[in-house]
Amino acid sequence: MALGKSQLICLVMITLCGVCFGAVYRVGDSSGWSSRGLVDYNEWASTKDFHVGDTLTFSYNNQFHNVMQVTNEDYESCNPASPIAVYASGSDTITLERPDNFYFLCGAPGHCQAGQRVEILATIPTPDDSFTSPSPTPSSSPAEVKSPSSALSSGPALHFSKLGLGVTMFVLSTLLGFVF
Ligand SMILES: [Cu+2]
């Protein structure tokens, strides 16, 4: 084996980086974040499989709407008075940083009641789950090109997480073989 230990560690880091790239979800897809009843956001969410590291993008006109992360209780009662976090840029990207239930609503009067709220359950990704994730956005592709797994497959990006994990396991076991 021509590779030194440091090179192997490097490989592991690069591979782990690839695994950490999450999917990006635009809330409501083309309708964005709206109170017009165009989207049932919880129905939208139920068709997705959210994982830690994924990001949500809320797109909306910030003259009329905002995004508040709230507690379960405030979500159920549409209470915007004590949010955990408030976003109001009109294009907010929120990363799901831990496995948990996340609750979002629009704080404008009446909007939450009209259905502008969503509950997101983020789980820890498993290799099998990554097959159902949508492709990462183009911006995450360059890192993929540098990854060791790209030599193994020119397939769609959505297979990358699984490949990355597999390669990581392989490299880790090789590393362990060197050490012990
Ligand atoms: Cu609103």
What confidence tier does 4 reach under pLDDT thresholds 50, 70, 90? low
CA of 172 to the centre of ligand 1 (A): 48
CA of 84 to the centre of ligand 1 (A): 17
More confident residue, 54 or 166: 54
41 closest CA partner among 28, 23, 50, 30? 28
pLDDT in tens, 94-117: 999 999 999 999 999 999 999 999
CA of 133 to the centre of ligand 1 (A): 28
Helix locations, 21-113, DSSP H: 41-46, 72-76
Q: What domains, with CATH codes, occur in the chain?
A: 5-21+136-179 (no CATH), 24-122 (2.60.40.420)
CA of 174 to the centre of ligand 1 (A): 53
User: Would you tell me how many other CB atoms lie within 10 Å of the CB of residue 24?
Assistant: 17
What confidence tier does 128 reach under pLDDT thresholds 50, 70, 90? low
Which residues are within 8 A (CB) of 157 and not within 5 positions of it... i.e. 6 or more apart? 135, 136, 140, 141, 144
The pair of structure tokens assigned to 91 is 């294009």
What confidence tier does 126 reach under pLDDT thresholds 50, 70, 90? confident
